Amino acid sequence: MPAKRTSIRFRNQLLQVMSADDLALLQPNFQPVPCERSKTLESANKKIEAAYFMEHGIASVVGGGSREVEIGIIGYEGVTGLPIVYGNHRSPHHTFIQVAGRANRISAAVLRSALEKSATLRALLLKYAQCFHIQSTHTAIANARGTIEGRLARWIVMAQDRIAEKELPITHEFLSIMLAVRRPGVTEALHALARRGLIRHDRGIIVVIDRQGLIERANGLYGVPEAEYLRLIG
Amino acid sequence: MPAKRTSIRFRNQLLQVMSADDLALLQPNFQPVPCERSKTLESANKKIEAAYFMEHGIASVVGGGSREVEIGIIGYEGVTGLPIVYGNHRSPHHTFIQVAGRANRISAAVLRSALEKSATLRALLLKYAQCFHIQSTHTAIANARGTIEGRLARWIVMAQDRIAEKELPITHEFLSIMLAVRRPGVTEALHALARRGLIRHDRGIIVVIDRQGLIERANGLYGVPEAEYLRLIG
DNA sequence: GCTTCTTCGGACGGTCCCGTACATAGAAGG
DNA sequence: CCTTCTATGTACGGGACCGTCCGAAGAAGC
């Protein structure tokens, strides 16, 4: 066997579980890019130029026109640009970096042709598409039934899954936009979580203390999409 | 050209826009079935036996465990069983008939093998999957920001799109579960819509009077998924 | 060290919606 | 016609959250 195989290990979960052949289709076309906060990856109703296999940081998908609402988040477990997987060039959503990090960028055209060539790559990315779909349906459920405190607890745990550190660099203002609530509402809910000893927080920082307690506080809003991810992707 | 072509016209939009070859893969395996109200098409976390190309009536997809919340609805514009298209056997959602009608049933195994054979069939159903995904993201947005009256107006217009008649057979109780609100809240919101002259309502019946007015009342919550459907499927 | 900007803490009246309870009125079946 | 069930109308107190405003307290630049 030729020793051509580059031994770069990706943190991205999709790239990790991908077959060597599929990875070989993508990897030569990867462009490692830093993702600074607020960087736009996709604009609503504009052609999607590239997909980003996240390595670090968090991307957020939002929709709803003027006053945007978060639909889902993507970290090193996933990839942006799902409309490409669906066979499309655009979507009415906006995707941007919420927590700085880095990603492997691949152009939409290359990804599209790789998807045509490989049925197994298609299968993997479609499974991830289902995971992301389920994540957004559970956002819908959380928005319908959850209190601010519960939704916030869910968001913090989901973000921690993707950061893998206990410190989340995020402001109340940002969270209030994501959850579509009033900014002081976020402040109060964070205090409530802190009073219960589940988090600490400082200017622009939230520190997870009791992850399991947060999950319980989320009152059933956390867990289902995560279990589906494990089942489908592992 | 051999006159083998059966000239049955389907009402289902996906079957209408499908190529003759793709239709030929599916149609011999169709089983026309009546869909009475409350019939379960898919259960949460159970193997999906079949997909249903709706011809009449409305199927509803819900999730969220004990107190379920509606994620999206499917009528003659679509098909149930999207997890099959995603390459899966199950999902954490529950799908059932909300307004009686009928559908063309096709077993999951047959649909799966047809999807493997035909790239164009895959492409079409994936486009519909994206449409449904966008529908559920907009349910998330509506749940986050809409008033009961607005969300109700959205739901009524969406249902009317799929019923194509002005009369919707639906009870307040049912709507309250779908929207995850209190039952008397639905009663009051329906009165408000009626006072504005947008609907009439009777025991178990809602009659659309001013569709455009309802859309305006939905305050931006209606329209985006519908426009995407037109763009992607036509 | 002082100004300026960002971020957070706290407060106000007001609104929407909740949980609950109860009464009425069609429908359905004897 | 009478009973029973379902569906709707209405009311009450209470809680969650809203829009808004203002002050304080770190962070950042001059």
Pick out the nucleotide with least CA–C1' distance to A171: C7
H helices, E strands: number in chain A: 10, 8
What pLDDT sits at residue B8? 67
* CB atoms A71 and B224 under 8 Å: no
What pLDDT sits at residue A126? 98
Q: Which residue of A has its CA nearest to B138?
A: A64
| Range A33-58 average pLDDT | 96
Average per-residue pLDDT for chain B:
94
Taking the CA of residue B142 and the C1' sugar atom of nucleotide D9, their distance in angstroms comes to 27
Whole-number Cα distances in Å, B137 to A31, B61, B92, B206, B222: 30, 13, 17, 26, 12
Q: Would the pLDDT of A4 be above 80?
A: no
| Range A36-42 average pLDDT | 93
Residues of B in contact with A224 (CB under 8 A): 63, 92
Strands ordered across the beta sheet of A167-169: A167-169, A205-208, A199-202
Q: What percent of chain A has pLDDT over 70?
A: 97
Question: For residues A225 and A233, is the Cβ–Cβ distance under 8 A?
Answer: no
Shortest Cα distance, chain B CAs vs residue A181, angstroms: 8
* CB atoms B92 and A143 under 8 Å: no
Q: For residues A133 and B2, which has the higher predicted lDDT (pLDDT)?
A: A133
Q: Is A67 on the interface with B (CB under 8 A)?
A: yes
Question: For residues B203 and B190, is the Cβ–Cβ distance under 8 A?
Answer: no
DSSP class of residue B200 equals E
Q: Is A141 on the interface with B (CB under 8 A)?
A: yes
B 28-57, residues with C-beta < 7 Å of strand C: none
Q: Is B228 on the interface with A (CB under 8 A)?
A: yes
What pLDDT sits at residue A234? 87
Taking the CA of residue A149 and the C1' sugar atom of nucleotide D13, their distance in angstroms comes to 24
Question: For residues B160 and B211, is the Cβ–Cβ distance under 8 A?
Answer: yes
Shortest Cα distance, chain B CAs vs residue A1, angstroms: 32
Q: Is B185 on the interface with A (CB under 8 A)?
A: no
Pick out the nucleotide with least CA–C1' distance to B170: D7
Q: Protein contacts on strand C: list nucleotides below 7 Å from a Cβ.
A: 6-11, 16-21, 26-27
Report helix, strand or coil for A212.
Answer: helix
Question: For residues B63 and B44, is the Cβ–Cβ distance under 8 A?
Answer: yes
What pLDDT sits at residue A64? 82
- Structure tokens that stand for A204 in this block: 């622009």
Q: For residues A6 and B13, which has the higher predicted lDDT (pLDDT)?
A: B13
Global pTM? 0.95
Helical residues (DSSP H) of chain A, grouped into ranges: 13-17, 20-26, 82-85, 108-117, 119-145, 148-163, 172-178, 183-195, 211-217, 224-232
Q: Which of A192-196, B65-69, B118-122 has the lowest mean pLDDT?
A: B65-69
pLDDT tens figures, A133-187: 999 999 999 999 999 999 999 999 999 999 988 899 999 999 999 999 999 999 9
pLDDT tens figures, A116-143: 999 999 999 999 999 999 999 999 999 9
Give the phi and the psi of residue B193 in degrees, each rounded to 5: -65, -35
The partner residue sitting opposite B180, judged by closest CB among A71, A144, A220, is: A144
* CB atoms A144 and B63 under 8 Å: no
Strand partners of residue A205: A169, A202
Q: Is A151 on the interface with B (CB under 8 A)?
A: no
Q: Would the pLDDT of A5 be above 60?
A: no
Q: How confident is the model at residue A66 (pLDDT cuts 50, 70, 90)?
A: confident
Q: How far is the C-alpha of A135 from the C-alpha of B91, rounded, in Å?
A: 12
| Range B164-184 average pLDDT | 94
Q: Would the pLDDT of B134 be above 50?
A: yes
- Structure tokens that stand for B60 in this block: 């509803």
| Range B92-121 average pLDDT | 96
